Structure 1
């Protein structure tokens, strides 16, 4: 254990909590390096079922996720921290505005990875200065099971939607971790307070929860619009509605949100341009305009082509024939992913005769097999 220069560890922990709040964190808890427990077995079962889809990064080094000591064998305590990003308005209201895109609450401001990691590093430096200990910091980018650790540290519990739920902040917490060689006093794990509630299960548009506390990411709209690199499977397109980046339904419906307040970290607050952007405007973004609009946003990592794919699915679900022009303009886009989505969008908004005529013309010139299949399916629809 690192040599603590002055106050006992319990007093140090109290001072650490004060520093955490001064650095922008809304809650803090401490647990041991062996705290993953049964969550490790659930994680391995999730991987074995294929529920992670194409998220190969999640399946890489599963042993490291299952035990913090495998990631860093010197760790003695895990300090878990949370930042409230609760929205200032109902995040589901935009779903009725079908000509506008719904971007998940967490992605409407600056990238939380950058914001929180900066604050985590500052807090970790303070701890090192006070004690001379060794530390490592993590924000959702390393092989760390943040939610089980946050549960063990008393920040909340993993709800039936598999996300962390807090009695104080509802389902709106970003998590960060500091691994340390200090043997700090541990907090008690939080109790599961979901009870018989199944609101998050019932609201899911794509039935992504095969059972409470279990997620099949391959059916999840957040996975389909963010992690999925190919075409959106046709069986899920209508259910996606106007969700163009992520999905907040299961989070927003959680009854524990009634105690939550809007987040206080201004850099994470929603930008006006991303609250309810026009689908027509978004469809016209080229790569440079996409990058400019989403500077510092997690959406930028998606890339223009996958983002426009999502926008086109939303256009197809808009029931607004005036948006057919935007889809038609993208039939000749350089990206096969975009062209394929444009075909589906157009097929939902114009007469079938028009689609059939365009399909006949495109069959000769289209070089991509998947795009040709999109034309075939669009022309064949009754």
Structure 2
């Protein structure tokens, strides 16, 4: 791949995740402090990510793969996203905010696949070239968080003054830039014949459901859905929790998770080869339980280190479970169903699993909201810690650590 193409793709990936990191990290705090949303209302807003993940395969499978260049669809979606971000910026009530964030997530979630498609189609050796390009996405997320803190939008005074709404303006401007920029990206035409008919099952990757005939894969599949329930607690509650615990520079501190993710993803092949899939994925599950226990009993004063360690565990929590799971899924699916199998797992985790998790998190937040602050948060974190530990033990008992041939 030419150096100029690599640079263009890196800029694309940087902007893609800069947009997401600009507003999503602080969303829970904004909803609670500025729109006075209840736990259930907050869950409803965060659930739009799951709805977007469920709807995304239709947009990619029925439109992007058959009719239009991927880079052009990427541009149109981000231009429309910029308009919706401006409307989110203007919204004064969660009931007004919700339709815009729902529409935005339906448009944004497909772009996560589109930036990958544009990148892969330009590469001669994706195994070596993609990781560098994707790293710029993590850098974009980190820089977005740093800017939010540098501008003091997430400071106690900034939150009380309503400055967190500026995160939507920043994301909207970046979305506008990426929308325009996308039309200059390398041409990425459709890969499928528009006259080729596919069933809804094929579009969603449901053909790969045959994998569930394998007992081990079924255990992994169910565990993937269940572990996304505690994962949803982090996305929905973490920033607001750190703000209410008076942690300094919250948004910057939370980028420690992305830094650890960037480093630990390099260890996955080594850990996977030495300890095998079962131990690797269990390490990720156990890390969720440990981090939530640290959040439950840590504070921003003498026990601040516990909160920081909990944030830093994000690399193990995310990489050791999701990346290992993607490798395992790829191994178990035959050539014909590799993409379908990955789509099935994504639909199950970001779609079904996190949707359940967001609603459970909202119900639990509302249930304990009248307790003293520290005690309330202790209950909110202990419950997902227990769920993560239970999933880990379930996986330990039911998954047979043996070499298996591809199912499909």
Q: Which structure has the highest helix share of the two?
A: 2
Higher relative contact order (CA 8 A, sep 6+): 2
Q: TM-score scaled by structure 1?
A: 0.28
Q: Which structure has the highest strand share of the two?
A: 1
Greater Rg over alpha carbons, structure: 1
